[in-house]
Amino acid sequence: MVFEKELKKLGLKDKEAAVYLASLQLGPSPVQRIARKAKVVRATTYVVLEALMKDGLVTKYKEGKKTLFSAEPPRQLMRLVEREQEYINDKKDELEALLPELQVLMKSSEDRPTVRYFAGVEGLHAMRQEMVMYTGSDDTWYSFTPIDHLTAVFGIEDVVYQQRLAKGIKSKTIFSTKSETLRKKFLLEEPIDTLTERKFVSPDYFPSQSGMTIFSDRIAIGSFTGKLGGVIIESAGMADMMRRMFELAWRGADTIVDKKISNSKLSK
């Protein structure tokens, strides 16, 4: 029966699907009647009904001296999907906890950097999720970001931004944009939280079409135009060097902006 196949896809076993459908069609019925309808032996039907009751798909009650079983409304089947989702979420949490240890095993040498390549938009998404996954609370991301190219790929609404805040990860970003609207949004209009710091540098000084973020012991470099994709370099020494270079750029960003303002005044 086609319904049995669909119910089995939801997680019911062969006899569970048959007995549930029989109960659904018959209404409140004794076990022997359900067994005949489902074409399952009576003794097995008892066991199956008990399993279905645990799943909340069948109820049992007394009517005089008779024991009757009644199928719950089909909407109750949604519980099977919810239970599967809970199982997947639990497994995901377990995997996230295990990943750092597995990552250590992947290293063939403590001192040798590892480089992994990520292709396309999906690869860029995977890189950004790794940034969230491998950064602890109170740690900091250091980013060079060409906003125009980044938003062209991911859009204005940034899910990773919300994930970062939820995890308590700090961020320092030097960004560029040709859009006055985006410049104001990221510096003025968008409420800056206590975890986020941003500095603007004109694309005249920073015309890059790629972005870079230093996090944990890794450096993520993404290309947002042409052949989309990127790399993650895993090296504590390299990441530390790039953080120091970022801090130099961070201090120099104010000088660049002040110089641009001064030149603008002189030209008037």
What is the CATH number for 13? 1.10.10.10
Same domain for 259 and 195: yes
**Structural domain of 40:** 2-79
Q: For residue 213, what pLDDT is reported?
A: 97
Same domain for 153 and 62: no
Q: For residue 250, what pLDDT is reported?
A: 94
Q: Tell me the C-alpha distance between 257 and 201, whole Å.
A: 7
Task: Kindly write down the DSSP assignment for every residue of 156-198, as one continuous string.
Answer: SS-HHHHHHHHHT-EEEEEEE-S-HHHHHIIIIISPP-TTEEE
Same domain for 124 and 69: no
Residue 88 is assigned to a structural domain of this protein? no
Facing residues of 221 across strands?
A: 212, 231
Residue 24 is assigned to a structural domain of this protein? yes
Q: Tell me the C-alpha distance between 222 and 145, whole Å.
A: 10
User: What tens-digit pLDDT sequence spans the chain (268 residues)?
Assistant: 567 777 777 778 888 888 888 888 888 989 999 999 989 998 899 899 998 888 888 988 888 888 999 988 888 888 888 888 888 888 888 888 888 777 766 655 556 788 999 999 999 999 999 999 999 888 999 999 999 999 999 887 778 988 999 999 999 999 999 998 888 887 766 556 789 999 999 888 888 899 999 999 999 999 999 999 999 999 999 999 999 999 999 998 876 555 444 444 434 4
Residue 261 is assigned to a structural domain of this protein? yes
Q: Tell me the C-alpha distance between 69 and 58, whole Å.
A: 7
Domain count across the chain: 2
Q: For residue 233, what pLDDT is reported?
A: 96
Q: For residue 268, what pLDDT is reported?
A: 44
Residue 98 is assigned to a structural domain of this protein? no
Same domain for 168 and 59: no
Q: For residue 64, what pLDDT is reported?
A: 84
Same domain for 117 and 180: yes
Same domain for 58 and 145: no
The per-residue b/e assignment along 127-162, b for 16 or more CB within 10 angstroms, e otherwise, is bbebbbebbeeeebbbbbbbbbbbbeebeeeeeeee
Tokens 């319904």 -> residue: 3
Q: Using only the alpha carbons of the chain, give its radius of gyration.
A: 29
Same domain for 253 and 123: yes
Q: For residue 261, what pLDDT is reported?
A: 42
